Amino acid sequence: MIILGIESSCDDTAVALVQNGRKVLGSLVSSQVKLHRRFGGVVPEVASRKHLENILPIIERLLRETKTSLNRIDAIAVTSGPGLSGSLLVGVNTAKALAYIWQKPLIEVDHLAAHIYSNFIEKKLPLKFPMLALIVSGGHTELVLIKSRTNLVVVGATLDDAAGEAFDKAAKLLGLGYPGGPAIAKAAVMGKVDPLPRPMLEQGLNMSFSGLKTALGRAVGSAKKSALAYEFQEAVTDVLATKVTRAIRRYRPKALLLAGGVAANKVLREKLKQIAKKHNLPYYIPEFKYCMDNAAMVALAAYFLGRTDKRGWYNVEVKTNSWKLKYESRNT
């Protein structure tokens, strides 16, 4: 079974072909980082227009480079949200058009679920439920309890800025460039600096990073940029690590997963590794190339979430199936 995945939730146009939910036959990403760098962040209108230019050529290139004919593709999977509305519209409408023309089933996939399933790309991991996943990216920061293959529930989330967004804004305040996560990590050096706050550290599973960004803005000029970058990175990762620890104690998962663009941060990866070791939990993280937005994770998530019964795929006729994450009360 081969699934064509399409991802356009933010500023990367990505396509991939995944076979049997494991093997990546081909994966291409057209990045817009250089385009948005001069603005210090993603400009939605610019991003959606670039997706329009990129999406059909990159699909054609993928099929050509993998030598995959249309009759070998069993279904099309596309990110339907959350994300930038204009960017999502390009991907979803392209997927719908191709599904209609090619007479293929269409599976709409939740972007956050796709990030979780990026842990399983080209890996055969034991699925022991429940599992706990921390998703950290430029637009999202969520704690997700995975009760079964198709039952994923958000049990904690940021109430304002996502961790990746906070890194971007912090890097801009420090004059370190864009994207902020890698810039902060590269510049970070331990030094003498007043401690920054750890927002909502003792309060449930929800998070907040906007106040931390404000505190950094007030501290700019009082210490070296490198020391402030180090302290900011420590503050963000301390909050995330504390929330993960609290969720482990509350839900007693059988494995810990990390996903999303900020999952590439080495400090965060190491802190969660130590937490998993302390609680004797298997710890899964994606390869660096699959931490960022990509379409292989979309196709793989569709494979796991789309098989609804023993008969296999939906029906022969073209049909749309959508799948969304569930949310617990935000008072967690």
pLDDT tens digits for range 7-17: 999 999 999 99
Q: Strands 326-327 and 106-110: what pairing?
A: unpaired
**CB-based contacts of 270, cutoff 8 Å, min separation 6:** none
Which tokens belong to 119? 């842990």
Mean pLDDT, the chain, rounded, equals: 90
| The pLDDT of residue 37 | 86
- Structural domains for the chain: 2-117+290-327 (3.30.420.40), 128-285 (3.30.420.40)
| The pLDDT of residue 26 | 97
Q: Give the torsion sign (CA, 152, 153, 158, 160).
A: positive
Asked if pLDDT for residue 321 goes beyond 50, the answer is no
Measured distance CA(98)–CA(105) in Å, rounded: 10
Give this prediction's pTM: 0.88
Arithmetic mean of pLDDT, 236-262: 97
Arithmetic mean of pLDDT, 60-70: 97
Residue 192 has, within 13 A of its CA and on its CB side, a CA count of: 1
φ/ψ of 135, rounded to 5, equals -105, 120
Asked if pLDDT for residue 107 goes beyond 80, the answer is yes
Arithmetic mean of pLDDT, 90-102: 95
| The pLDDT of residue 128 | 87
Burial environment of residue 56 by CB neighbours within 10 A (0 to 12, 13 to 18, 19 or more): middle
| The pLDDT of residue 316 | 27
233 or 37, which is more confident: 233
Which tokens belong to 209? 């990073």
Asked if pLDDT for residue 267 goes beyond 90, the answer is yes
In this predicted model, what pLDDT tens digit does every residue of 15-30 receive, in sequence order? 999 998 889 999 999 9
pLDDT band at 151 (very low <50, low <70, confident <90, very high): confident
To the nearest whole percent, how much of the chain has pLDDT over 70?
Answer: 92
In this predicted model, what pLDDT tens digit does every residue of 180-205 receive, in sequence order? 999 999 999 999 999 999 999 998 99
Any idea which of 74-78, 127-131, 322-326 has the lowest mean pLDDT?
322-326
Any idea which of 267-271, 294-298, 324-328 has the lowest mean pLDDT?
324-328
